[in-house]
Amino acid sequence: MAEAERRLGRWVDRGVALGLVVLAAVVWNSAAAIPPSFLDTGFGADYLPKLLAVVLVVLALTLLAETRNKDAETRTGTEPSTVLDGGLVARCWAIARRPLALAVLLAAFILAIDLGLLGSYPAAALFLFAAGLLLAGVSRRSLLLSAACSLLVTLAVYLLFTQVFTVLLP
């Protein structure tokens, strides 16, 4: 049973690596469609998206190398040190619950701004506060730290955009 789960995990890793390569190809192709600026100094509007595509490919190659190392460990008979007890569904849920909760939180953040329920700064402060609690767990210290960080970061972004860049965000 444990071997089948490890094999499934390696196939999932390979699938994620393939997804990263496909995403990198889409980002690179989209960046190539950006027209060059008349003030092009070598770093045009397509530079950062292409850099992101390269980083995605490097991450995919790193994931594939790690998967290959796990395959080698299995062939030599050494037991991987990260094997957990319990069912496959329980393991998947334990791994995926925080990223899924963050994705739902991000969707709620975008919806709150899009529907006009909150302005961008209050919504950002609430998002940072909830994300901090989600990642750190709920305790008196994490409540205070998350509240302080969310308020300070939101205030810093507000001051940066209004005072330095003189741009009002919606």
Cβ within 8 Å of residue 63, ≥6 positions away: 13, 16, 17, 20
Which is higher by pLDDT, 107 or 9?
Answer: 107
Question: Which of 49, 83, 117 finishes a domain?
Answer: 83
Question: Could you give the number of structural domains in the chain?
Answer: 2
State pLDDT tens for residues 32-78. 888 877 766 667 778 888 988 999 999 888 888 888 877 666 666 55
- pLDDT of 112 higher than 80: yes
- Residue 85: pLDDT over 70: no
Distances in Å between the Cα of 104 and the Cα atoms of 60, 71, 112, 128, 165 are: 25, 34, 12, 13, 31
- Both 56 and 117 in one domain: the answer is no
116 phi/psi in degrees, rounded to 5? 80, 20
Q: Which of these three, 45, 66, 83, is where a domain ends?
A: 83
CA 2 → CA 15, 42, 85, distances in Å? 20, 52, 9
Range of the domain at 64: 1-83
Task: Give burial (CB, 10 Å; 0-12/13-18/19+) of 36.
Answer: exposed
Same domain, 23 and 77: yes
Same domain, 105 and 61: no
111 vs 93, more confident? 111
Give the end of a domain, one of 61, 83, 105. Answer: 83
> 150 and 93: one domain?
yes
Same domain for 59 and 91, yes or no, is no
